[in-house]
Structure 1
Amino acid sequence: MQIYKVGGAVRDRLLGKPVTDIDWVVVGATTEEMLAKGFRPVGADFPVFLHPKSGEEYALARTERKSGRGYGGFTFHASPEVTLEEDLIRRDLTINAMAEDDQQNLTDPYHGQQDLEARVLRHVSPAFAEDPLRVLRVARFAARYAGLGFTVAPETLELMRHLSESGELEALTAERSWKEIARALMEDQPQVFIEVLRECGALKVLMPEVDALFGVPQPEAHHPEIDTGVHTLSVLEQAALHKQPLTVRWACLLHDLGKGLTPKDEWPRHIAHEHKGLKLIKAVNERFKAPKDCQELALLVGEYHTHGHRALELKPSTLQELLQSFDVYRRPQRFEEFIAACEMDARGRKGLEQRSYPQADYLRGAATAARSVAVQPLLEKGFKGPDLGEAIKRERLKALKAYKEQA
């Protein structure tokens, strides 16, 4: 029995990055031997075990062959005869197909270290094209390592293009796709994830609503970058630079989908794009079964982001409706995330990345003013039921009028 550290832990050590998760491969062992040593099996038919003390995953060396469509369409074969090289060849990228023993001696049959030094993301073997999830994974790694100068090898991009055209991407489950998308959006340069998906033709399969934004012009006075797709990428880039949470990044990606529906004869204006985009945002949310908080914020940002930009001009009654739509009295954090998404949208414009956004503090102040209305005095005056609700609304409107006059 020989045990090797494999994959990301080896890659990140060689890159000088912190190693968090460690994967282990066991060569020359049987399931019975693993159980005898106290390892606990994970799942019924997958040869993966948890270490009795550390809880880390140890997988028996295995081969695999395609047996159906999608990410799960594989048959695995694990036995003591499977070599380390045979196990590594089934992995996605050469930089993930290296192993090291307990003395840090490197086993690198597919030149992963060379590709690390050349800053290239390259597939290990033609079997790469058997797993459609790898299209998303490679795009995610491109987003993670773009800052180090990594690019996708042309021949790997070609295989990704082939996968995108094959219909295999449609076989991915919503859960698996979302897991990769969510992780990619939280990388340092999530816009690169979208760029790579677009380059290989996967974006128009997975998110045709986002793909449709490229080539759609906007008024140059507000959008020096002009192209709506380019703007969306810039907004996503700003969200990452400002360390925004996943909810905000997801909303930034989807906020302008309505502009993809504007008839060409109306370009570069996009009248009522906020409302038109809601059905598209809803469709993307449902396709990937995004978490509820991501779904809700994306819809609210899509509908109200131009309200955010015009905050200083809004009538007190419109401000009140906006605050009510976000339920700021019970869910203040969601309104904070809306403000963040609006600010990223304002900064995601060529040459305007450093602009100030006074609307943010103005909106926060409005929310504070409305929340400061005390309910107890109204109860003491005898208001109750629907009458109490109306009285609270009147007092909040008064507070917002006073706030606007002072601002």
Structure 2
Amino acid sequence: METYLVGGAVRDRLLGLPPGDNDWVVVGQTPEGMEAAGFRPVGRDFPVFLHPDTGEEHALARTERKSAPGYRGFTVHADPSVTLEQDLERRDFTINAIAQGADGRLVDPFGGAADIEKRVLRHVSPAFVEDPLRVLRAARFMARFAPLGFTVAPETMQLMREIAASGELDALVPERTWQELCKALRAARPSAFLRTLRDAQALKAVLPEVDALYGIPQRPEYHPEVDTGIHQELVSDMAATLAPGDDVAGFAALTHDLGKALTPRSKWPRHIGHEQAGLKPLEALCERLRVPNSHRGLARIACREHLNVHRLFELRDATVHDLLERCDAFRRPERIAPLALVCEADRRGRLGFEDADYPQGPELRRVHAAAMAVNARDLVTDGMSGPQVGRALRQARIEAIARARSPRPSQ
């Protein structure tokens, strides 16, 4: 039995990145032999085992053959005759097709180490086109590695376009698409995910609501980048900067302006009412990808309220209270900080505004905290009915907001 460290663990070490989980491939062994050695089987679609001491995943070397449409349409073959090189050949990108032996020696039959040096994401073999999920994986890897200077090899991009043109992306199950999207939103540069999919002519199939934003003009005095799709890229990257690894805020940032794609051409470059208009495509996206409620909730209020937050210093005290109430901020106080962050990302996600101040963020958190400090139990409500108590609580919270508000900042 020969055991090799493989995949991302080797790649990230060569890139000098912090180590993640270790994955191992085992050559020359059977499932029965693994269990006899104390490994616990966990693989559903192919033989994967957990080490009895470390709990790390060990997979038997295997080959895969395309047998049906979609990313699940593969027949897996794993037995002691499968070589390490055969196992590496089935992998997606050369940078992921490197193994390391116990003695530290690299097994790199497809030039992955050289591609790491050249900062190139390149497919291993023509079999790349057999798995449509690899288009999303390429885009997700670019979201992570574009800051390091990585680009997609032209020949790999051509294969991605062939996959997109084949219609195979329609076979991706929502959960896998969502999983890859979340990983991209947690990465340093989500815009590279969007741009890679767009270059591959795949964004329209994966995120049609976002793809529709490209080419939609905005008022240049507010948006020097003009194109709404470019604005969206900048906002997503700013959200990743302000809240690294936060895919909940990242999803809300990604979807906050979907309504601009629905503005009639005759109204361009203004987008009056795009906040409410964006709720319908947002719900369609959430339903299609089965987006969790935690992500939906923040995305809805960010889509609907981001302009109100931008105008926070102009709003009356009662209007600020009602904004908080619409966000369900008194029952779900944890929503306000990420809402403020997404709105800041929207403000700073514009050419030339990257370092702009956003006093509305701390102001929103401050007035929310003041309103939250008011408790119905502290009010004199003797003899009041339920609706009267509600009105008294609202008034007390409005007064607390008024006391907490800061002067409107000078322009």
TM above 0.5, yes or no, is: yes
**Match of residue 190 from structure 2:** 190
**Match of residue 202 from structure 1:** 202
Deviations 1:78-126 (A, max 9, x none): 0111111111100000010011110111111111111111110000001
Whichever residue aligns with residue 296 of structure 1, its letter is G
- Is residue 398 from structure 1 mapped to residue 399 from structure 2 by the alignment? yes
Q: 1:140 to 1:405 in 2, by over 3 A?
A: closer
Whichever residue aligns with residue 294 of structure 1, its letter is H
**Match of residue 85 from structure 2:** 85
TM (norm. structure 1) is: 0.97
**Match of residue 313 from structure 1:** 314
Task: Tell me, yes or no, if the aligned pair for 1:383 and 1:391 is still in contact at 8 Å.
Answer: no
**Match of residue 262 from structure 2:** 261
Q: Equivalents in 2 of 1:405, 1:278: separation in Å?
A: 31
TM (norm. structure 2) is: 0.96
Q: Equivalents in 2 of 1:107, 1:374: separation in Å?
A: 66
**Match of residue 162 from structure 2:** 162
Query: Which consecutive residues of structure 2, in runs of 5 or more, have no partner in the other structure?
Result: none
Q: Equivalents in 2 of 1:236, 1:127: separation in Å?
A: 32
Deviations 1:262-288 (A, max 9, x none): 111111001100011100011111111
Partner-residue secondary structure (3-state), 1:188: coil
**Match of residue 233 from structure 1:** 233
User: Mean alpha-carbon deviation: is it higher for 191-200 or for 242-251?
Assistant: 242-251
Give the total of aligned pairs.
407
Task: Tell me, yes or no, if the aligned pair for 1:379 and 1:388 is still in contact at 8 Å.
Answer: no
Task: Tell me, yes or no, if the aligned pair for 2:7 and 2:23 is still in contact at 8 Å.
Answer: yes
Q: 1:45 to 1:138 in 2, by over 3 A?
A: closer
Q: Equivalents in 1 of 2:241, 2:396: separation in Å?
A: 40
**Match of residue 18 from structure 1:** 18
Q: Equivalents in 2 of 1:149, 1:85: separation in Å?
A: 28
Whichever residue aligns with residue 176 of structure 1, its letter is R
CA RMSD of the aligned region, Å?
A: 1.4
Query: Which consecutive residues of structure 1, in runs of 5 or more, have no partner in the other structure?
Result: none
Please report how far the alpha carbon of residue 188 of structure 1 lies from its aligned counterpart in structure 2 after TM superposition. 1.0
Q: Equivalents in 2 of 1:255, 1:243: separation in Å?
A: 16
Q: Equivalents in 1 of 2:43, 2:116: separation in Å?
A: 33
Whichever residue aligns with residue 281 of structure 1, its letter is L
Partner-residue secondary structure (3-state), 1:38: coil
Partner-residue secondary structure (3-state), 1:128: helix
Query: 1:6-405 residue pairs with structure 2 within 5 A?
Result: 6-44=6-44, 46-244=46-244, 245-404=246-405
Please report how far the alpha carbon of residue 248 of structure 1 lies from its aligned counterpart in structure 2 after TM superposition. 1.0
Please report how far the alpha carbon of residue 379 of structure 1 lies from its aligned counterpart in structure 2 after TM superposition. 4.9
Task: Tell me, yes or no, if the aligned pair for 1:144 and 1:187 is still in contact at 8 Å.
Answer: yes
Q: Equivalents in 2 of 1:178, 1:193: separation in Å?
A: 13
Q: Equivalents in 2 of 1:284, 1:164: separation in Å?
A: 19
Partner-residue secondary structure (3-state), 1:24: strand
Task: Tell me, yes or no, if the aligned pair for 2:248 and 2:295 is still in contact at 8 Å.
Answer: yes
Whichever residue aligns with residue 37 of structure 2, its letter is K
Please report how far the alpha carbon of residue 71 of structure 1 lies from its aligned counterpart in structure 2 after TM superposition. 1.7
Q: Equivalents in 2 of 1:299, 1:248: separation in Å?
A: 11
Please report how far the alpha carbon of residue 24 of structure 1 lies from its aligned counterpart in structure 2 after TM superposition. 0.7
Task: Tell me, yes or no, if the aligned pair for 2:243 and 2:249 is still in contact at 8 Å.
Answer: no
Deviations 1:280-337 (A, max 9, x none): 0111111111121111111110000000100000122221110101222222220111
Partner-residue secondary structure (3-state), 1:308: helix
Q: Equivalents in 2 of 1:78, 1:193: separation in Å?
A: 33
Q: Equivalents in 1 of 2:312, 2:61: separation in Å?
A: 59
Please report how far the alpha carbon of residue 397 of structure 1 lies from its aligned counterpart in structure 2 after TM superposition. 2.4
Following superposition, which runs of at least 4 residues in structure 1 exceed 6 angstroms of deviation? none
Whichever residue aligns with residue 120 of structure 2, its letter is V
User: Mean alpha-carbon deviation: is it higher for 386-395 or for 106-115?
Assistant: 386-395
Q: Equivalents in 1 of 2:229, 2:183: separation in Å?
A: 21
Please report how far the alpha carbon of residue 394 of structure 1 lies from its aligned counterpart in structure 2 after TM superposition. 2.1
Q: 1:59 to 1:252 in 2, by over 3 A?
A: same
Partner-residue secondary structure (3-state), 1:306: helix
Q: Equivalents in 2 of 1:262, 1:380: separation in Å?
A: 48
Partner-residue secondary structure (3-state), 2:224: coil
Task: Tell me, yes or no, if the aligned pair for 2:42 and 2:48 is still in contact at 8 Å.
Answer: yes
Q: 1:404 to 1:103 in 2, by over 3 A?
A: closer
Please report how far the alpha carbon of residue 403 of structure 1 lies from its aligned counterpart in structure 2 after TM superposition. 4.2
Partner-residue secondary structure (3-state), 2:75: strand
Between the aligned residues of both structures, percent identity stands at 53
Please report how far the alpha carbon of residue 372 of structure 1 lies from its aligned counterpart in structure 2 after TM superposition. 2.8
Task: Tell me, yes or no, if the aligned pair for 2:24 and 2:58 is still in contact at 8 Å.
Answer: yes
Deviations 1:35-76 (A, max 9, x none): 111111114552111111111111111111111122211110
Q: Equivalents in 2 of 1:192, 1:45: separation in Å?
A: 31
Task: Tell me, yes or no, if the aligned pair for 1:65 and 1:75 is still in contact at 8 Å.
Answer: yes
Q: Equivalents in 2 of 1:381, 1:97: separation in Å?
A: 73
Task: Tell me, yes or no, if the aligned pair for 2:363 and 2:406 is still in contact at 8 Å.
Answer: no
User: Mean alpha-carbon deviation: is it higher for 223-232 or for 368-377?
Assistant: 368-377
Whichever residue aligns with residue 209 of structure 1, its letter is E
Task: Tell me, yes or no, if the aligned pair for 2:94 and 2:110 is still in contact at 8 Å.
Answer: yes
